Amino acid sequence: MDTETRYELKQGFSYATSQGQQADATHLIMQEPGNEVLAEMAKIRQWLAIALDENRKRLIESGAINADGTVDEEELEEEEEEPQELTEQAEGLIGVLSRGSIPLDKFYLTVAEILTKRGFASVDGDAKLTPVLWKKIKGQDVEGIIGHYVAAFFLR
pLDDT at res. 90: 82
- Helices 86-99 and 104-116: angle between axes, nearest 10 degrees: 140
In DSSP terms, which residues pair with 30 in a beta bridge? Answer: 5, 121
Rounded Cα gap, residues 36 and 120, in angstroms: 11
pTM over 0.85: no
Segment 90-132, tens digit of pLDDT: 888 888 898 889 999 999 999 999 999 888 999 999 999 999 9
Judge whether 114 and 37 are in contact, CB under 8 Å.
yes
Segment 130-143, tens digit of pLDDT: 999 999 999 889 99
